[in-house]
């Protein structure tokens, strides 16, 4: 295939679980940007945020986006906030097909409540209304993608099938 497949979207939309399965199916290498940042810094994301703050994390994210843009045949699961930087989007688009995974605020809330400790930006109790507001605020960032896939009520394998159909 050559080009990278870059999964963007809000936290809890399935980027990591879908990305892993998609990479297996397409026989490509899978890269989870958050896990890579943890390897690079030697710190879990939540600890990186606590110890060094969001600015340091975003800096690591930007450097990694630039590095990955020079590689090929990757399926990349980005962090939820990667889209907040136009530079990141431009770098990832250089050699990538951008796919936005979406889910309803209700579904996202269910999913993130299962993994609350690993979500550094969820410092406070977050509700469906908060998620809706954040989704609306990021809508223009998600609009830059080549296509969008709704992951509500779908198993990751179903989402993978939908992506592979769309890629053909």
Helix axes 45-68, 33-41, angle to 10 degrees: 110
Q: For 115-160, how does the pLDDT look when each residue is reduced to its tens digit (9 = 90+)?
A: 765 555 555 578 899 999 999 999 999 988 999 999 999 999 999 9
The neighbour count for residue 140, using CB atoms within 10 Å, is 9
pLDDT of residue 12: 92
3 CB burial (10 A radius; 0-12, 13-18, 19+): middle
Q: For 14-50, how does the pLDDT look when each residue is reduced to its tens digit (9 = 90+)?
A: 999 999 999 999 999 999 999 999 999 999 998 999 9
User: Could you tell me which CATH number the domain at 4-162 has?
Assistant: 3.40.50.300
| Close Cβ partners of 165 (under 8 Å, ≥ 6 residues apart) | none
């Amino acid at each position: 295939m050559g080009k990278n497949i870059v999964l963007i979207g809000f936290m809890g939309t399935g980027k990591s679980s879908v990305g892993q399965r998609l990479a297996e199916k397409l026989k490509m290498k899978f890269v989870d940007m958050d896990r890579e940042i943890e390897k690079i810094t030697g710190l879990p994301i939540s600890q990186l945020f606590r110890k060094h703050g969001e600015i340091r994390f975003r800096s690591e994210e930007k450097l990694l986006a630039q590095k990955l843009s020079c590689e090929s045949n990757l399926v990349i699961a980005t962090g939820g906030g990667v889209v907040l930087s136009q530079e990141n989007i431009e770098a990832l688009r250089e050699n990538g097909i951008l796919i936005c995974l979406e889910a309803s605020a209700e579904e996202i809330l269910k999913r993130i409540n299962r993994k609350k400790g690993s979500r550094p930006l969820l410092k406070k109790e977050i509700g469906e209304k908060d998620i809706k507001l954040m989704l609306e605020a990021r809508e223009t960032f998600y609009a830059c993608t080549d296509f969008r896939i709704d992951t509500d009520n779908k198993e990751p394998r179903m989402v993978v099938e939908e992506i592979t159909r769309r890629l053909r």
